[in-house]
Structure formats: structure tokens, C-alpha cells
Structure 1
Amino acid sequence: MLVLLGLALGAPGAGAFLVHVASWCPLAANGSALAFDFTILFNKNPLVCYDPPGRRFVPCDRGLLAQVAAAVATGLNNGSAWTQRAEARRRLCRDLTPRVWAAAALRRTPPHARIVPSRPAAAGGPVLLTCHVWGFYPPEVTVLWLHNGDVVGPGDTPPPPISAIPSGDWTYQTQVTLTVTPRPGDTFTCSVQHVSLAQPLLEDWGPGLSPGLTLKVAMATVVMALGLGFFSVGVYRYRTRPPASGYTPLPGNNYPAGSI
């Protein structure tokens, strides 16, 4: 029947055309199939539709191809091959959907996080912190900023919803920014809350030590290293010096008796 449709529509002057079959089943929140659709389309427009309760094909084009759609539906209903094909896809939708739903929609993929600072042109100026969060599923995620352990912003209001975008690999990504003027010793934390995590994912960033404090720490490190070096040399020389005159070796001593 589809071959006859192609010949009829491919007559001189008909132009290029495309006929294909599409089937799908919308799902409920628990993964069960809500309905089933099996359609024959012409140039992406529905031509003949399958009626699951009646187990028959009906024309679904009410325009210029209404008569062609009726003829095709009648031809498909005269045999059982296309009805069996539609019913096979209907059973596949019913039986396969729960397994696909469990492996895809119900999976839990934990996120990754990283803070990227945008350094100011002048020292001591504000810094733009961007917390990149990626690789998570499902897309619902909450991202909070902490400053020295305290939530940045009002603590008595829920955080705004985060807009996550698909990454193209069945996971999602998002980013949240914060402009700060850090001081030495500050710690800014990106806290990510997701259903796949038993506890929030924490990513820390700090401005590091001030130049003066960095110099002091470096000098203290050098002094400590020198002190340890002198101490090690002193212990070595003390342990390797020969015994004093008149020393009587004890059993097990390396110095033979009478050698001093």
C-alpha cells in the first residue's frame, strides 16, 4: 500500500516527497506509558494514524491529501500485517519502557565542581569567582556560596532555582558567580547539594597570604631548615667521635680493648 502511495504521489509534477513511520509513547512520572502513537507521515505531516482501542488505521489528514489518507487507511486495514506491526511496537513500548526508565531517568549521577577566579587588574580589587558544576543528573541542583563557613546572602529565604543546561551526554551543567573583595585568610566555598550526594559537595577557594606574611613565612622556613641542618651535623659528629682516653669498652663496643 505504501508503494502505491509513493507511485501516486510521485506522478509527474508531484515533486519530491518523503514517507516514513513514527511511533512513540508519552510517559508518566513513574515511567509507565500513558498512551501509544503509531503514525505514517508524508513530508513530516501525519497522514494515517493507528487507533489502539479499535486496532485499526484511520486517516488523520483533513487537507489536500484527505482522500489519499482514506485510501491508504483502507488498504492497511484490509490486511493484518500492519496491524500486527503496530501492536508489536505497542507491546515493546509497554515492556521496554520501565527498564529504560530505570536505567536513564531514575539514575543518579553526582556532580563535579571547580571554582575559577577572575583576577583583577589591580591588586586588592574585587575578584569574580565562578563555580562550575557539571556532570550531574537529574538536573535539579542547589548551589550556595559560603564565606568563612557562613552562607552568603539572606539565610532565612530559600535559594533561587538554578538553571541547568544539558551537556549533551545525558548529564547537566551550570555555573554560579560571586564578586568578592577577599582578605588574607578568607575562605570562599561553593556548596553543591544534589540528590545523588549524601552530603553537600564543597569546593574551597582562598586568596592566599599577603606579600608581607608570605615573606615572613619564607624566612621562618629558611631559619628552621638551617637549624635542623646544624642540629643534624652536631648529632652526627657527637656519635662518630672516638672515646676519651682511659675509656674501657663495654661488650659489643666497636673499639677493641687497649686500642686507645
Structure 2
Amino acid sequence: MKVQELFDLTNRVALITGGGRGLGQQIAEVFAEMGCHLALCSRKKENCNNIAERLAHEYGVKAVGYALDVTCENQVEEVVNQIHEDFGKIDILVNNSGATWGAPVEEMSLEAWNKVMNVNVTGTFLVSKAVGKHMIERKYGKIINIASAAGLTVRPPEITNTIGYTTSKAAVIHFTKDLAIKWARHNIYVNAIAPGMFRTKMTKGTLDQKEQAVLETIPLKKIGDENMLKGAAIYLAARASDFVTGTVLSVDGGSTL
């Protein structure tokens, strides 16, 4: 098989949560470029619609936006079933929807903690469960959970003060490994990407205040740009990774070393 074929996603179908902006949008763009059809989901459907319309026009793929709250089980099941009906299958799932909350531990409210856990952990579980039912029937699937370098290491509060977020991403990493061994018998691959510090709407506040301090924790001394996650996402979605499951691929400039 030629190398290009190993990374080709022509006529695959990917469901990407949080696909309307940030890292989800970057992954959607590279998937479309490789020929993948897209179901982009977010609470803000308009964002997904805009990205879907642009990518469909630019790359000639089918791309549709859907409104989805990943913490609502009934809505997750309805939307996943609708996507399956609209596209006929779901080959790839990217669990990218995420939330964070910055506060000292002693001041963080239970409401804030629960919000982060519900989106990052429960949402990943609910969407994986719903999509997994279809993948099990077809005996094939690639699931990519977007974890975080923050789930692999710890930092003093002067760098990050988001214990709910870091804890949730550590949970996503363990969920990835456990689900991989549970569903390997169904030919479903489950892996995670652990991005380091990228320039997104979620990280803007931290970088505006502490960019130099953050750079000191990154051996490569740079912040991730709009292209640096794309290779990892393609690898884990394509046939190139057909002997890889339960792994966590850090894309972090060396910050977790």
C-alpha cells in the first residue's frame, strides 16, 4: 500500500464534537482535505454550519452542522442516530468538546467543577457510547479523544489554576485506555491526543497574561499553531494507525517530558 493511501480518508464519515472552532475546526479542515465527510456538532450550531458550508465548498465533501449538548443523553442519542441516518455510517469519532474554569481550588464552586466534569468526561462517555453502538454493528471505528497535556502533568498555580480541567483530562486519558481494551474485539480503535498549549479561544486569557511563563515550561519554546495538531489527527483517523490503540499521543512541544 502506498503511503498516500495509508492517510487517505476518502468517503469516510467523521463526527467531530466542538467542530465549530478551535482544535475541532482544525481537525475538520484537515479531514475534509483528505476526503472525509463531516458531521460537526456544537451547542452553537451556527458556528458548525459556517465551517461545514465552507469545507463542503472548498473540498467537495458532504459536511453538515448539528446542535448538540454532549451532556444531555437523550439529545446525544437523537443527534448520533440522525447523523447515522444522514450519512449512512460513522467511521470516525473525535470527542473534542471541552470546558475549563480557572479558579484557586479553595475558591472553586461545585457548579464550576461539575460543569467541567460533565462536558469533558461525561460528554466523552455519552457520545462514545452512542456512536460505539453503530461501530460495534459494523465491526469498525476510530475514536479519537482530545485529552490534554494538562492531564499528564501538574503545574504551580502561577502557570495554571484549573484543577477541574486537569483532573477531567486525566480521566479522559484513563477512559481512552479502558475503552480501547473493551472494544478492541469489535475492531474499534480508541486513542487520545494530548495537546499542549495551542492558541485558541479557550487559552487566550492564559496566554494574554502568562505567555512568557508558559513558554518556560515548553522545551521547544513555542505555542502550538493551527497546523500542529493536524498530522496527529490524520494519523489516528487513518489506516496508518491500524496497529495502534489505547495510546496517548502528546503534541505539546515537550511540555510533559
**Structure with greater strand percent:** 1
- Tell me the TM-score range normalised by the shorter chain: under 0.3
Normalising to structure 2: TM-score of the pair?
0.20
**Structure with greater helix percent:** 2
Larger Rg: 1
Normalising to structure 1: TM-score of the pair?
0.20
